[in-house]
Amino acid sequence: MARRRQIYEGKAKVLFEGPEPGTLVQYFKDDATAFNNKKKGTITGKGVINNRISEYLMNRLGDIGIPTHFIRRLNMREQLIRQVEIIPLEVIVRNVVAGSLAKRFDMEEGTALPRSIIEFCYKSDELNDPLITEEHITAFGWATSQDLDEIMAMSLRINDFLGGLFYGIGLRLIDFKLEFGRVWDDDQMRILLADEISPDSCRLWDVKTNEKMDKDRFRRDLGGVEEAYQEVARRLGIMPESGPRDMPGPDTIQ
């Protein structure tokens, strides 16, 4: 298969050179990893579904004025994005205690937080994405205080919007991870929402049953992983028409 030049391969996605300067093609794989690569597996059809879910959510966020890297979906597994310089932070927004927060403070999962909490981790597989503070971020030059103010304001706005959007389809947005990147338009630097928003990067629990509808089903061997991803897409009204198993592979882009 003739392919474009590969720029980067991550755990769940591959980035290829885009058709025009300043663009990239983001390809969504079915591969899943957890616990910093210690657990590996495949979630059949995940790439197709995450491509759709991320497209949908980035478009809705664009509608309310959040600048994102998303340009358009190209085919079942690929989307065209703006090339950004990734800020090496994982921005975690939490509404309910779960995952590493529950562990860190020995708190019960499911406890609603009195206010949303933003945490920062340094993106480094070798270091296991350590939790950091704004002091580290500014001291080590990963972002300025102004950048952080903008990132935090955007993250809280995204949280409010997505929390409402998911609640409307019977899902509680427990927590999620965002990544941001920089672009330069002439001499003006702008910060854009980058990466993806999907059940790989969000915790989503069914409002009525508290059932987990996200990657925790894979992390914790709960079964029904594919079905959970499909159900999120179905509730969003964006299940691929032909079903997740009908994957003809990427079309060539014009």
The encoded tokens of residue 177 equal: 């991870």
The least distance separating ligand UDP from the CB of residue 43, rounded to whole angstroms, comes to 14
Convert residues 222-251 into a mask of x (bound to ligand UDP by CB under 6 A) and - (unbound). ------------------------------
The order of strands in the sheet holding 6-9 is 6-9, 13-17, 23-28, 78-82, 70-73
Q: Does 203 bind ligand UDP (CB under 6 A)?
A: yes
**Is the Cβ of residue 82 or residue 177 nearer to ligand UDP in the bound state?**
177
Phi, psi of 99 (to 5 degrees): 55, -130
The least distance separating ligand UDP from the CB of residue 223, rounded to whole angstroms, comes to 18
* Subset of 48-87 contacting ligand UDP (CB under 6 A): none
Q: Does 215 bind ligand UDP (CB under 6 A)?
A: yes
**Is the Cβ of residue 82 or residue 217 nearer to ligand UDP in the bound state?**
217
The stretch near ligand UDP (CB under 6 A) out of 16-24, 60-68, 159-167, 200-208 is: 200-208
What is the Cα Rg of the chain in Å? 18
Q: Taking the mean position of all CA atoms in its chain, how far away is CA 26?
A: 13
* Subset of 94-153 contacting ligand UDP (CB under 6 A): 98-101, 129
**Is the Cβ of residue 118 or residue 239 nearer to ligand UDP in the bound state?**
118
Apex 139 CA angle, 136 and 142, nearest 5: 75
Scanning the structure block, which residue is given the tokens 């999120």? 232
Q: Does 176 bind ligand UDP (CB under 6 A)?
A: yes
> Are the beta carbons of 51 and 59 closer than 8 angstroms?
no
The least distance separating ligand UDP from the CB of residue 12, rounded to whole angstroms, comes to 9
The encoded tokens of residue 251 equal: 């079309």
State the number of binding residues for ligand UDP (CB under 6 A).
Answer: 14
Out of 177, 192, 229, 236, the residue judged to bind ligand UDP by CB under 6 A: 177
**Is the Cβ of residue 18 or residue 46 nearer to ligand UDP in the bound state?**
46
Out of 30, 55, 90, 226, the residue judged to bind ligand UDP by CB under 6 A: 90
The stretch near ligand UDP (CB under 6 A) out of 91-99, 106-114, 150-158, 233-241 is: 91-99
Out of 53, 57, 76, 92, the residue judged to bind ligand UDP by CB under 6 A: 92
Pairing between β-strand 89-96 and β-strand 171-185 as defined by DSSP bridges: antiparallel
Per CB under 6 A, residues contacting ligand UDP are 90, 92, 98-101, 129, 175-177, 201-203, 215
